[in-house]
Amino acid sequence: MPDNLHFKTVTDLQSLLAGGEISSVELCRELIDRKEAVDSKIQAFNSLDAENVLANAEASDQRRANGELRGPLDGIPIGLKDVIAVSGSPLTCSSRMLENFVPPYDATVSRKLKEAGAIPFGRLNMDEFAMGSSTENSAFNTTFNPWSSDRVAGGSSGGSAAAVSAGSVPVSLGSDTGGSIRQPASFCGVVGMKPTYGRVSRFGLVAYASSLDQIGPFGRSVADVAQVLQSIAGHDPKDSTSIEKAVPGYPEILQNPIGPWKLGVPKEYFEEGLDPEVKACIQKAIDWYADQGCEIQEIQMPNMDLAIAVYYIIATAEASSNLARYDGVRYSHRSEQSEDAIDLYFKSRAEGFGEEVKRRIILGTYVLSSGYYDAYYLRAQKIRTLIREDFMKAYESVDALLTPTSPFVSFRAGEKNEDPLAMYLSDIFTISANLAGIPGISVPCGFNSENLPIGLQILGKPFGESDLLAIANSFEQAHDFSSQHPDL
């Protein structure tokens, strides 16, 4: 069997499977062993049904032997953030509120992956109900960064990023409400992509903020991300926000080099608060694009400084509404100490939700309350429109924007827990893309002096995933950052 199978890209694994050098069963056994060997240090997984994984792998091998492959992902394991429904598999959202919930149906992305022959490989840890930037808000475990065991993996999709980075699974799915794919991808040194809002169905994704949430892939390479996106993208009548728009052939686009591009650099992303080593690394990447013949333009986005405030009004308001369904009456945690129906509601929610979830529900309920709706929520929605217009104006003169993914590298566990605002600022460079509904990708672009990964964020036009993947792939192919792995 080939060495370091757990660090192979999907493209590598497809070649090995096609050539008969490995079977899907052998691949999955290797990854199960890898998970058992390293996950006690990382804590990326909430659960893994090894027996079911191997049964699916055996079925894939049988299809391959019979010449009945379902697609290029057949036999490839993929981890799923524990906020995406998989029939018969626990769906906890890393919360005591849903600790014992098992969905009887598949999310659309889960169904599409199964139809493509991919093998669901475990449920990955996250900040509770996707509310956080470090995966320290999980009710079960903190997920640590494979590059440094005392640092966070980012959030809220920290488990999805860390599992890929650690070699426990080749690709995974996360969700991104304000940077929850791109920021942990940057922290863990992997590729992570948030598609355009409406490009990927949200049916079966437990909602945090419905107008911001989007499912997207993590991978070791841009090509891996392109393959997974190809399988999960497309219109879904079960999701009223899904857009009926043709899906290009993303993997094929990467086979035909294009460019150079016109690339914008928003000055608002390079001001106070940006770590000097991160700034220098991003500037080096920008200079590389310039050397390849890309036209680099400085862009002004005057409403960017309002993005954090707007996001935490809109996101918490929608969370307050979405999480009202967890009342202890139906399928969520039910308090055993209640005296009547009202007491049941209060105590079930008090026991089931963690502190950060409670904080955001309270804030969201406040901004939606009588007398404050116009002053906060309605005004935030108007400014959200201005932020989107900033992007649309920028795209009149450039094809995409280059920015840091995060203002700093992964921070130490516990470092920001006593200051929620400092934690919220972790997402200062990512949330505007969710407010505008545009796609974004984070690709590894270097390391700081402590050998911690730094991510380059590329933001594109609505439904401009093809350009983003091509721009990111051109950088990746000229550098070896994506091929470097943590020593566990």
Q: CB atoms < 10 A from the CB of 325, how many?
A: 11
**Rounded to the nearest 5°, which phi and psi values hold at 118?**
-65, 155
Annotated active-site residue in 134, 138, 156, 175: 156
Q: Is 237 exposed, middle or buried (0-12, 13-18, 19+ CB in 10 A)?
A: exposed
Q: Which residue in the list 89, 180, 242, 474 is annotated as catalytic?
A: 180
Q: Is 350 helix (H, G, I), strand (E, B) or coil?
A: helix
In the chain the first and final C-alpha atoms are separated, in Å, by 21
Backbone angles phi, psi at 215, to 5 degrees: -85, 145
Q: How far apart are CA 9 and CA 221, in angstroms?
A: 7
Residue 110 a catalytic site member: no
> Under a CB-based contact definition with an 8 Å cutoff, are residues 199 and 243 in contact?
yes
370 noted as active-site residue: no
CA distances from 78 to 55, 311, 364 (A): 15, 30, 34
Helix (H, G, I), strand (E, B) or coil at 458: strand
Tokens matching residue 66 = 């019979």
Contact in structure between 410 and 151 (CB atoms under 8 Å): yes
Tokens at residue 353, please? 């939700």
Q: Tell me what percent of the chain is helix, strand and coil, each rounded to the nearest 5.
A: 45, 15, 40
- Which three-class secondary structure state does DSSP give residue 10? helix
Catalytic residue, candidates 8, 35, 81, 194: 81
CA distance linking residue 109 with residue 106, whole number of Å = 8
CA distance 226 to 456: 17
Rg of the chain on CA atoms, in Å: 21
Active site residue 81: yes
What are the DSSP E strand ranges found in 267-381?
A: 295-299
SS3 176: strand
The residues annotated with a catalytic role in the active site are: 81, 156, 180
